[in-house]
């Protein structure tokens, strides 16, 4: 069944197609040129799951001097703010004598240099789903042409100006050198989607845990990066920015540790209590549209700590947790109080992270100053 890109996403924005879909379309066009001497202006790409196909325009097809065929497809990310939008993804297809389909990184596609990704070190940064899409496209053409299904091909996948594009992405941080990655799990770009954000978090978690480190940092925003650099002296690749998806990130950490068969000695949870204290109320998606303020959670810790009278009432009536920070800033017990909040958050987080030996929390105010320093 054809997938209609003209139908808007749920948020009203225009969908697009992934670099994996681009590469698959380019492979299919190049194989059609190589084997059938066809010059299609568009090709149908079967999307993962087998329910839909997508018609993708082909910008260019040429025959190279070495007898290979090269096809170019222009990436259309729809309304998503994708760094690879309008990138020219190409596939150069060559026969081989091995009877196998082999992938190579062409100009502008990166090579994996660090463990933790779904592609082994030394391989082109082409994720498993796009690889399978390309293999299926080749086999589809071989089957239609009644040719030998054990024919071998080298699929060299590249991106014009890909090395420059990659500098604007997280690839250098992820240990992917030389260009962009060929990505996609559905073949379709959902503009600014929750699924896309969560998929990127999972990648960062796998990279952070890839070579079995002693500690990593999880943080909703930039505070964790500054803390890791200033106090922990651990590399940026060990820092995972999880935005509001705290519960999802914990699940990724736990799942990855189990898959790797290892225990993480220490996990740091770093950020503002306005977000992190929400987990004390079993709120694991901390977006303000899906959760209430953390003031009530902080107030419960204040009761446990023994804060009474007018100060306790002021905490309860504060509109924000930052307001609570300001209320307590001049109190001699302020640091002890926030240390208790840190310890309670750490205990709650640890209940979700059975493969982590020690969970530590460090809270900061909006001014970047440390609040509790609990260990």
Residue 192: pLDDT above 80? no
pLDDT tens, 253-284? Answer: 999 999 999 999 999 999 999 999 999 999 99
Note the pLDDT of residue 223: 76
Mean pLDDT of the chain: 91
Per-residue pLDDT averaged across 170-187, rounded? Answer: 90
Nearest to 188 by CA among 68, 86, 54, 355: 54
CA–CA dist 298, 28 (Å, integer): 58
Nearest to 308 by CA among 274, 331, 335, 285: 331
CA–CA dist 296, 293 (Å, integer): 7
Note the pLDDT of residue 26: 98
Inter-residue contact 71 to 91 (CB < 8 Å): yes
pLDDT tens, 209-227? Answer: 998 999 999 999 877 778 8
Nearest to 268 by CA among 321, 322, 213: 213
User: Which ranges of the chain does DSSP label H, i.e. alpha helix?
Assistant: 19-36, 128-144, 162-166, 171-174, 194-209, 223-227, 246-260, 273-276, 295-305, 309-317, 321-328, 334-350
Note the pLDDT of residue 92: 98
DSSP per-residue letters across 98-123: SSSEEEEE-TEE-EE-SBTBSS-TTS
Question: What are the sequence ranges of the domains in the chain?
Answer: 16-189, 194-363
Residue 368: CA count within 13 A, CB half-sphere = 7
**Domain 16-189 falls in which CATH fold?**
CbiD-like (3.30.2110)
* Strand pairing class (101-105; 152-159): parallel
Note the pLDDT of residue 147: 47
Per-residue pLDDT averaged across 144-172, rounded? Answer: 83
Query: Radius of gyration (Cα) for the chain, nearest Å?
Result: 25
CA 269 to chain CA centroid, nearest Å: 19
Return the higher-pLDDT residue of 78 and 11. 78
- 364 in helix, strand or coil? strand
Return the higher-pLDDT residue of 185 and 352. 352
Return the higher-pLDDT residue of 100 and 50. 100
Beta-carbon contacts of 23 under 8 Å, excluding residues fewer than 6 positions away, are: 73, 89, 91, 126, 130, 133, 134, 157, 182
pLDDT band at residue 360, thresholds of 50, 70 and 90? very high
pLDDT band at residue 145, thresholds of 50, 70 and 90? low
CA–CA dist 356, 263 (Å, integer): 6
Return the higher-pLDDT residue of 8 and 302. 302
Inter-residue contact 180 to 216 (CB < 8 Å): no
Residues of the chain with pLDDT > 70, as a percent, come to 97
Note the pLDDT of residue 289: 66
pLDDT band at residue 146, thresholds of 50, 70 and 90? very low
What is the b/e burial string over 340-358, where b = at least 16 CB atoms within 10 angstroms of the residue's CB?
Answer: bbbbbbbebbbebbebbee
CA–CA dist 93, 29 (Å, integer): 10
Strand partners, 11: none
Q: Tokens in use for 230?
A: 């200033």
pLDDT tens, 107-123? Answer: 999 999 987 788 999 99
Q: Is 42 left (phi over 0), alpha (psi -120 to 50) or beta?
A: beta
Inter-residue contact 285 to 291 (CB < 8 Å): yes
Per-residue pLDDT averaged across 337-352, rounded? Answer: 97
């Amino acid at each position: 069944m054809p997938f209609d890109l003209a139908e808007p996403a749920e948020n009203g924005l225009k969908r697009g197609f992934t670099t994996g879909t681009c590469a698959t379309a380019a492979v299919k066009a190049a194989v059609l040129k190589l084997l059938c001497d066809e010059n299609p202006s568009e090709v149908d790409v079967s999307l993962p799951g087998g329910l839909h196909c997508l018609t993708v325009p082909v910008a260019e097809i040429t025959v190279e001097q070495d007898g290979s065929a090269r096809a170019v497809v222009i990436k259309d990310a729809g309304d998503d703010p994708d760094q690879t939008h309008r990138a020219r993804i190409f596939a150069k297809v060559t026969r081989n004598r091995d009877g196998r389909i082999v992938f190579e990184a062409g100009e502008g596609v990166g090579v994996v240099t660090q463990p933790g990704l779904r592609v082994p070190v030394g391989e082109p940064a082409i994720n498993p789903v796009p690889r399978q899409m390309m293999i299926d496209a080749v086999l589809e053409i071989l089957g239609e042409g009644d040719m030998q299904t054990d024919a071998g091909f080298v699929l060299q996948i590249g991106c014009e100006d890909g090395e420059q594009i990659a500098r604007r992405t997280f690839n250098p941080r992820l240990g992917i050198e030389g260009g962009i990655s060929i990505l996609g799990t559905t073949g379709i770009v959902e503009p600014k989607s929750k699924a896309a954000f969560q998929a990127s978090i999972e990648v960062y978690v796998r990279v952070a845990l890839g070579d079995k480190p002693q500690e990593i940092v999880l943080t909703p925003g930039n505070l964790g990066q500054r803390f890791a650099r200033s106090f922990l002296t651990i590399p940026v690749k060990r820092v995972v920015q999880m935005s509001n998806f705290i519960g999802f990130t914990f699940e990724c950490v736990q799942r990855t540790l189990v898959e790797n068969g290892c225990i993480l000695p220490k996990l740091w949870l770093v950020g503002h209590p306005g977000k992190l204290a929400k987990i004390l109320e079993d709120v694991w998606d901390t977006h303000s549209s899906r959760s209430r303020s953390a003031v009530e959670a902080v107030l419960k810790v204040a009761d446990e700590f023994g804060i009474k009278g007018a100060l306790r009432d002021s905490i309860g009536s504060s509109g924000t947790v930052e307001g609570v920070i300001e209320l307590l800033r001049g109190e001699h017990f302020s640091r002890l109080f926030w240390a208790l909040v840190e310890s309670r958050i750490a205990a709650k987080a640890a209940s979700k992270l059975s493969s982590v030996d020690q969970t530590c929390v460090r809270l900061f105010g909006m001014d970047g100053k440390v609040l509790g320093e609990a260990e």
